[in-house]
Amino acid sequence: MALEITKAFIEEIEEAIERADAAYILSSLEDMYPADITTVLYELNTPQSKYVLDLLEPEVGSEILSGIDPEVRNNFLKSFTSEEIARYVNLMESDDAVDVLNEQKVQVREEVISLLDNEEKAADIIDLLHYEEDSAGGLMAKELVKVNLHWRVRQCIAEIRRQAETVEKVGGVYVVDDKDKLVGRLGLKALILAHDETPITELYDPDVISIESYKKDTEVVDVMQKYDLEAVPVVNAQGKLLGRITIDDVVDVIQEQAETTMQLMTGVTENTDE
Amino acid sequence: MALEITKAFIEEIEEAIERADAAYILSSLEDMYPADITTVLYELNTPQSKYVLDLLEPEVGSEILSGIDPEVRNNFLKSFTSEEIARYVNLMESDDAVDVLNEQKVQVREEVISLLDNEEKAADIIDLLHYEEDSAGGLMAKELVKVNLHWRVRQCIAEIRRQAETVEKVGGVYVVDDKDKLVGRLGLKALILAHDETPITELYDPDVISIESYKKDTEVVDVMQKYDLEAVPVVNAQGKLLGRITIDDVVDVIQEQAETTMQLMTGVTENTDE
């Protein structure tokens, strides 16, 4: 179950930061989910938060920075060097990395990109930065598992194994032709139940719903809700597979959409702070 | 891609209903997703919609009735006999079945339940009717794949095969002990990459976030958003696994929550029709 974070716990962390007791802080946070550590960081000031983040594994730190409130993050990252930002961005999924970079000044953004170790990630990020933030392209991540229509289950599983490191949640596998055009989808359940030598052509579902990269984010929400999708693949005008949007990435859009509807209904059109 | 439904198309369907041309209607709707057929039904009047629904496969009909707007559904089902409702409810996932039954008068509800062929489904539905609609228990479905902690991958896959018919989206597998207490979770990715003889104890993640059945629906949303979950298992006070809630089932709650926030912010507290 989710943890209850008490005032006493926060005070103990603050005192440990005061006396630079890294071992105490690490053992206190050891069993916590990144989202719970984020809740702790919200209670601390910027230098305290930075001290704690520096102690954590970079993988945990990058997950925290991916999930944190964008406004808080933007302020927080002002106290980071470009090298420090790059260390975390290197480990983020491409859509989160782009969100972080879009919040930075152009100079910082360029510096961070030039410092990325992971060349494939850097290329993905540069590609994603071209899309409007409120478009399907702006919401998508490049990380996904795709397999060729002419493969068999065995190759498909090898591809999942190869991609397992970079794709956090697989969900399903997209099927493309030799020109990288999206032609279908394959659920993991079907894959688990199939034999190694079964051709993908016999297994895949050609009835795959996709969305073009230029479409508005609100349209992404409508399509995902209407067809009850946990993820939707994004294609270009030629049907080439570009990326994928998962439902957790559009929850913010759903909330904004509901709020806008309410504002229109009640006649409130000025910006309101939450 | 999603289909564009034109006025001309609707008129042709209406004319075909007029002349009772079942073959024409079926061939027109043949390649459409249930969600698109729903859009067509919204354009027709009640007797016309009923005529079309009666022509479709019961599986397609039950998917349409599961996804349709609750108010529209409630009006629509008034023209159905209890036998007709039971035919569709029999094929629905348990959470959708309960939503439909909760909308009916007590007499109709009891009649429909007594008419259900699928005894396991009937038992699940009777169980789910006890939970408050705005609680975790009221949101959950009973359909899920659970495996025993002491099994191996081979048994786990056999269990998925057994359940594949009733569980539409597997997502992940829940791990329980001999007393049916939730002890962990196993992603399908891990299962695909493992060998048949690997013990579940070596594979499963004991760090599973769950929610108690009595918790409010808004708390379900908070937990799923905070920990970025696509599904959350529901347990009783003893930690026994009762069901699961998927993210698509809480999207309505997310929208209501955003609307309530807006209402509080703008001081509008009276009910508004959408």
**DSSP symbols for B137-172:** HHH-BS---EEETT-BHHHHHHHHHHHTTT-S---E
Run of H or E including B184: strand B182-187
Whether residue A44 is predicted with pLDDT greater than 90 in this model: the reply is: yes
Within the 40-59 window of chain B, which residues sit less than 8 Å (CB to CB) from chain A?
Answer: none
Run of H or E including B59: helix B58-67
Whether residue B274 is predicted with pLDDT greater than 50 in this model: the reply is: no
Q: What pLDDT is attached to residue B113?
A: 95
Q: What pLDDT is attached to residue A249?
A: 84
Question: Would you call A80 helix, strand, or coil by DSSP?
Answer: coil
Band of residue B193 on the pLDDT scale cut at 50, 70, 90: confident
Q: Is A264 on the interface with B (CB under 8 A)?
A: no
Q: Is A262 on the interface with B (CB under 8 A)?
A: yes
Q: What pLDDT is attached to residue A78?
A: 93
Whether residue B6 is predicted with pLDDT greater than 70 in this model: the reply is: yes
Is A170–B188 a contact, with Cβ atoms under 8 angstroms apart? yes
Q: What pLDDT is attached to residue B263?
A: 73
Q: What gap in Å lies between CA B143 and CA B166, rounded to an integer?
A: 7
Q: What pLDDT is attached to residue A3?
A: 58
Whether residue A273 is predicted with pLDDT greater than 50 in this model: the reply is: no
Question: Would you call B210 helix, strand, or coil by DSSP?
Answer: coil
Is A192–B193 a contact, with Cβ atoms under 8 angstroms apart? no
Q: Pairing between strand A172-176 and A182-187?
A: antiparallel
Band of residue A191 on the pLDDT scale cut at 50, 70, 90: confident
Q: What pLDDT is attached to residue B232?
A: 95
Band of residue B126 on the pLDDT scale cut at 50, 70, 90: very high
Is A254–B254 a contact, with Cβ atoms under 8 angstroms apart? yes
Which of A244-253, B209-218, B242-251 is modeled with the greatest confidence? B209-218
Is A191–B191 a contact, with Cβ atoms under 8 angstroms apart? no
Is B1–A210 a contact, with Cβ atoms under 8 angstroms apart? yes
Provide the β-strand partners of residue B234.
B211, B243
- Helix/strand/coil (H, E, C) string of A197-262? CCEHHHHCECCCCCEECCCEHHHHHHHHHHCCCCEEEEECCCCEEEEEEEHHHHHHHHHHHHHHHH
Q: Pairing between strand B182-187 and B172-176?
A: antiparallel
Whether residue B135 is predicted with pLDDT greater than 60 in this model: the reply is: yes
Whether residue A9 is predicted with pLDDT greater than 90 in this model: the reply is: yes
Whether residue A271 is predicted with pLDDT greater than 60 in this model: the reply is: no
What domains can be seen in chain A, in order of their start residue?
8-132 (1.25.60.10), 146-252 (3.10.580.10)
Residues 6+ apart with CB under 8 A from A234: A136, A137, A140, A210, A211, A212, A213, A241, A242, A243, A244, A245
In terms of CA atoms, which chain B residue is nearest residue A268? Answer: B266
pLDDT digits (tens, 9 = 90+) for A13-35: 999 999 999 999 999 999 899 99
Average pLDDT of chain B to the nearest whole number: 89
Q: What pLDDT is attached to residue B267?
A: 66
Q: Is A154 on the interface with B (CB under 8 A)?
A: no
Q: Is B154 on the interface with A (CB under 8 A)?
A: no
Which of A56-65, A154-163, B165-174, B242-251 is modeled with the greatest confidence? A56-65
Residues of A whose CB is below 8 A from B157:
192-193
Within the 230-259 window of chain A, which residues sit less than 8 Å (CB to CB) from chain B?
Answer: 230, 246-248, 251, 254-259
Is A192–B262 a contact, with Cβ atoms under 8 angstroms apart? no
Q: What pLDDT is attached to residue B268?
A: 56
Mean pLDDT for B106-131 is: 93
For residues A157 and A195, the answer to whether their CB atoms sit within 8 Å is: no
pLDDT digits (tens, 9 = 90+) for A132-163: 989 999 999 999 999 999 999 999 988 888 87
pLDDT digits (tens, 9 = 90+) for B17-64: 999 999 999 999 998 999 999 999 999 999 999 999 999 999 999 999
Is A258–B254 a contact, with Cβ atoms under 8 angstroms apart? yes
Mean pLDDT for B234-243 is: 95
Residues of B whose CB is below 8 A from A230:
169, 171, 230, 246-248
In terms of CA atoms, which chain B residue is nearest residue A227? Answer: B35
In terms of CA atoms, which chain B residue is nearest residue A222? Answer: B2
Q: Pairing between strand A241-246 and B231-235?
A: unpaired
Residues of A whose CB is below 8 A from B262:
258-259, 262-263, 266, 268
State how far residue A223 is from chain B, nearest Cα, in angstroms.
Answer: 8
- Helix/strand/coil (H, E, C) string of A151-174? CEHHHHHHHHHHHCCCCCCCCEEE
Give the rounded percent of residues in chain A with a pLDDT score beyond 90.
Answer: 69
Segment among A52-61, A183-192, B102-111, B123-132 with least mean pLDDT: A183-192
Residues of A whose CB is below 8 A from B67:
228
Mean pLDDT for B132-145 is: 93
Token pair of B113 as six digits: 């339940």
Q: What pLDDT is attached to residue B258?
A: 77
Q: What pLDDT is attached to residue A268?
A: 55
Q: What pLDDT is attached to residue A28?
A: 94
Give the rounded percent of residues in chain B with a pLDDT score beyond 70.
Answer: 95
Whether residue B164 is predicted with pLDDT greater than 90 in this model: the reply is: no
For an interface test with A, give the residue of B62, B265, B269, B271 to mutate (most A CBs within 10 A). Answer: B265
- Kindly list the strands in the beta sheet with B211-212, ordered across the sheet, starting from the edge strand earlier in the chain: B211-212, B231-235, B241-246
Q: Is B227 on the interface with A (CB under 8 A)?
A: yes
For an interface test with A, give the residue of B157, B168, B195, B228 to mutate (most A CBs within 10 A). Answer: B228
For residues B245 and B140, the answer to whether their CB atoms sit within 8 Å is: yes
Within the 180-209 window of chain A, which residues sit less than 8 Å (CB to CB) from chain B?
Answer: 187-189, 191-193, 207, 209
State how far residue A107 is from chain B, nearest Cα, in angstroms.
Answer: 32
DSSP annotation of B2? P
Band of residue A2 on the pLDDT scale cut at 50, 70, 90: very low
Q: What pLDDT is attached to residue B2?
A: 47
Q: What pLDDT is attached to residue A84?
A: 95
